[in-house]
Structure formats: structure tokens, C-alpha cells
Amino acid sequence: MTARADPSRYDNWWRTSLLAVIDVACWPLAFLFTVTMEEWSFTEPRVLLVLAWCAAAQVLLGMAGGLYRRRYLPFSFEEIGIAAITVGLAGACGVVADLAVTGNRFGHRTVWATATAASLVLAVRYLRRLRARIVRGRRAKRRTPVVVVGAGEGGHRAVRAMLTSAASPYRPVALLDDDPAKRSLRIMGVRVLGGFDDLGDVARHLHVDAAVLAIPSAAPDLLSRLHGAARAAGLRTLVMPPVQQLVGSGTVAELRSWSDEDVLRRQVVTIDMKAVGAMIAGRTVLVTGAGGSIGSELAHQIAGLQPAHLVLLDHDDSLLHRVEQSLRGTVELTPELADIRDRQRIDEVFAAHQPEVVFHAAALKHVPALEVHPAEGWKTNVLGTRNVLAAAEQHGAARFVNISTDKAADPVNVLGYTKRTAEQLTAAVAARTDRPFVSVRFGNVIGSRGSVMETFLAQIDAGGPVTVTHPEVTRYFMAVREAVRLTLQAATAGAPGEVLVLDMGTPVKIADVARQLIEQSGKQIEIRYTGLRPGEKLHEVLLSEGEEGDRPHHPLIDHVRVSPRWIDADQLVVEVGGSMADSVAEACKVGGPGA
């Protein structure tokens, strides 16, 4: 379907044609001015001939250079430049015509006329821009006033997006920057009124409602400080994404409310999108656990890479329905309601769809629950993974990515032991088939269901207290988008049997996270320390003792080898209960029940 041009835009055809007529009209005015100053006869046939030549050259050169073919953004530096060049070349054509017709009798006067015409053409564009700014200013008075923090490239991008978009809900009224050289700067009429520490005073004086943190390259500590200052001033905080995520010229859609991910503001993992696209495009891809936090994000990112068919598998019908509806119409997909514990059902799904690429995200992941019910962790994380791997091997899947966790490194709890075993199972199939079956270790995913932040927010809403196990406990955190990007890269960069581990930066104190969320709520809530729970570490690690990471392909991804280990079919049929439920961790260590 062809989109219709918006008649209100400045770059549609009738406005462009009108601009060409105005530019041509500048030449008679320029010659009339020159005649008045030089005592030149405007009605002399030779003068009119030179004028006609300049006007015709203006149109022809403007068309050839794209000035009158909508190649340049209105009011942009590029449009001003090509307009000046077009007038100059048209004037040069006039000088040549003058030389040919009059023997250069009026040559110097034609140069004066050209300079005058150039001034008029540029003045017309300035007046158009001034009029547009006045119109935008009147329209913007009904919008939310904001102060833009940062007067660099990010600030210019934010101000321009807010002022040029008819749909923008925001109106920038001031800029702030700590750079003394920018104290007198204006961006599209918006002035720098001070430094970052002046946020509260400027907000009170101008009655702004929000602060836009327009510093895409800012470090987490600076962002946190500015966010705290905005909150202290009673302002809502809006942020721009990191510089690696900025594309195009910018829109107000980039501005979003502050989220917990902004505390991290980690370097975005750059991946080889060409290789990832080649792996996904035109192929059948299956995602287990597609209704979960990682699985649903995987499904959305894979859908954008044009797979031939996307199969979504989950045992929760509500979550499966939700992710299916969010993707409906974007890609050919099939939802499959199935439990990875059911070996026969998983085999049916693989037989029906013959997936070429498999992302295995289905798992039980909560440490306290699995410590109480260890057999459930064994059945899902070990036996379920074994079922999916066996089906992938039998039905010829070319690639397999198992989603693991940092708790699999030097494991001390049921989750860690079962996920470590899942890594070994994956490595065993890779060793047997020499196919790129790999695992990826993640830290905690911000905002996932049941995450610590979700728990803290619920406790804050209830009035507290916020419970933290230990004042010194730390964890690695990463955003779900980052985790999924790593997963996609793993599918292309990982060698058979490898575990890929992301350099997740500095661990974050859980108590600091709790304090920040409490501060954001504006409530006075107690933090209560409850002590480490069974199976819980004070500090997580990324690599087990004896593991050595190598980074042959990506500066933020370690490639680690784990010992392959398979569980025979007769070991899958076990009686769950009694001593087995109490010894899952030991079973993972020594080879499974009955080993």
C-alpha cells in the first residue's frame, strides 16, 4: 500500500514548486536592485535576456541538483548549501550569457545581481524557518514543558525531535550542561541556562514537569546522580537510549521513562547481524519456554529476522497465547502447547516441524523454590533438557542454544547443579554430532517474572519492609535485550560444546538496588535483612574453578569448555520421591539417579 503524502508537510510537491517560483522571483528583484544602484536600464533588451538566462538556469540547476526534487530536509544545512551553490552557478551562467550577448558590458553588474539574488534566496529560507518556529512555538505551548540535560549531540537530537514533530507531547524550555563553553549556546532557540547542579532552580523558575537526560554516552553513576536530582526537584525523568542504539535523525519515540535498566547503562553488545540474519532467514526456528521473559524476547527478535517458520513452545497456555498474539501477522508461526518433561510430545513437535535452529529457554529458575522441591528442578532442567536435545539430535537440528545461568558456575544449589548438568548434556550431543550445540550463561535478567526487582516493587507497594538476605550480597544483572542479543550471537559464534559467558561488568549490591527503588518511590520504607537462604551464595561467579575463558571472536564473550556428559535412557525413568528428592544435587554431581 502506498502511503499518501501529508499535506501539512513542507516537502510535498506543491510547496516545493512554490519555493521554486519564489526563488526564480528573487532574480528580477535582484536585477531591479542592481539597476537602481548602478543606474542601469532594466528595460533594455539585453539586460532582460541576461535576467531570463539566470532565471532559467536557476530552475534547471535546481532540478539537477535536487533542490526542487525534495532531496533535502527543509531548513537543513544541506538545503542551504545546495541553494547557495545553485544561485552561484545560475549567476555564472548569467555572466557567460552577458559576455556572449553584450561583450561583457554588464558583467560586474551581473555579479552584483547574483550576490543579491543569493541573499534573497537564503533570506526566504530563513523566514520560512522562522515562521515554522513561531508556529511550532504556539502549538508547543499546550505541551509538557521539559528541561533537556545535556547540550551536546544528544541534546541537539532531543530538542530537534521535540520541536519538529507534530505529535511530540514535550516542549523543551531550557538546556543544562556542565561544559562552560556551552553556557551561551542556543539550540533551535532553546538556551543553555546553567549546569547540571542548576536543575532544581531552573525547574522551579520555569515550572517544568520533566527532565530529559539527553546524554547517550553517560556512565551509570552520572545517570543515577541526574535521576536523583530530577526526583528531588519533583520531576519525571525521561532518558535517551545508549549511543549504540541511536539510529537515523531521532524521534520523540526514543524518549522513554526512566527504568531500572538505566542504572546499568552497560555497553550494548554488538553482534554480527549479517551472520545472525543468515542463520535465521528462511529457516524453521523453535523456541522452548517461549512465554517466559527470555523466550518471548527471543521470539520477538527472531521474528524480525525473517524466519520461514517460527515455532513457539510452552507449557503455560496463557503465556503462550500472549506471545502468539503479540507476534500475529508479523511472521508465519505455530504455537505448540507442550511440556518439555513429556518426551513423546516433544518428539511429536520436532517430527511435525523439523526445526533447523532451536533455542532452549524452558527451565525452572528460582533458587528457593527448587531448594524446597529439588525433584521438580531435576525433571525440568535435566530430564526436560535431555528430551529436547534428543529430539533435536534425532530430527537433524543444525543448531541448538541452551540458555544457562551464572549459578551453573561452581554450583552450590539445585538450580546451579541442574543447569550445570544441562550444559554437560548439550556438550555431549555436540561431541557426538559435531554440530554447533552450545550453551549461554546469563546473570539475573532485569524485570523478568519473579526477579528481585519485581519482589522489591511489590513490597514497596505494600508499604514494606523490603527484605534483603544480606547487606553485602551481590549479583550480576543484565537487560533482557542484551541477554537475547548474546544468545543470537552464540548461535553463530559458538563452537560445538562451548559455553559462552558474557562479561557482565561489576556485580551490583542487592541492598543498593533496594535503596534506589525505595528512593524512587518517595516512601519511607525499612530494609530488613533476613539472612542468606539455603543454597544461596553471597557472591556469584561467572566461571567455575578450573575453567578458563577465551575471547576469540568478541571482546565481551568468553568461550569456555565443559566436560560432556550424557544420561542414558534407562536413567530417565526414575521414581520421584523419598531419597531421590533429597539428593538431586548429589545426583547431578555423580551422573544422575541410578548412575
Q: What b/e readout covers 117-127, taking b as 16+ CB neighbours within 10 angstroms?
A: bbebbeebbee
Q: Could you give the CA distance from residue 520 to residue 259 in angstroms, rounded to a whole number?
A: 10
C-alpha cell at 555: 571482546
Alpha-carbon separation of residue 189 from 209, 224, 449 (angstroms): 20, 29, 45
Q: What b/e readout covers 240-255, taking b as 16+ CB neighbours within 10 angstroms?
A: bbbeeeeeeebbbebb
Q: Could you give the CA distance from residue 136 to residue 166 in angstroms, rounded to a whole number?
A: 8
Q: Which member of 182, 365, 379, 407 is catalytic?
A: 407
Q: Could you give the CA distance from residue 357 to residue 352 in angstroms, rounded to a whole number?
A: 14
The residues near 290 (Cβ < 8 Å, ≥ 6 apart) are 296, 298, 299, 312, 313, 314, 319, 320, 323, 335, 361
Q: Could you give the CA distance from residue 13 to residue 564 in angstroms, rounded to a whole number?
A: 67
Which residues pair with residue 441 across a beta bridge?
404, 501
C-alpha cell at 408: 551453573
Are β-strands 357-360 and 498-502 bridged in parallel, bridged antiparallel, or unpaired?
A: unpaired
C-alpha cell at 166: 507534530
Give DSSP secondary structure letters for 236-268: EEEEPPPGGG--TT--GGG-EE--THHHH-PPP
Beta strands in 51-189 (DSSP E): 144-149, 170-176, 186-187
Are β-strands 498-502 and 437-442 bridged in parallel, bridged antiparallel, or unpaired?
A: parallel
465 Cα distance to chain centroid: 34
The residues near 463 (Cβ < 8 Å, ≥ 6 apart) are 523, 525
Q: Could you give the CA distance from residue 382 to residue 404 in angstroms, rounded to a whole number?
A: 12
Which residues pair with residue 359 across a beta bridge?
287, 401
Instruction: Judge whether 407 counts as a catalytic residue.
Output: yes
For the chain, what is the radius of gyration of the CA atoms? 33
C-alpha cell at 194: 546553567
The residues assigned a catalytic role are 407
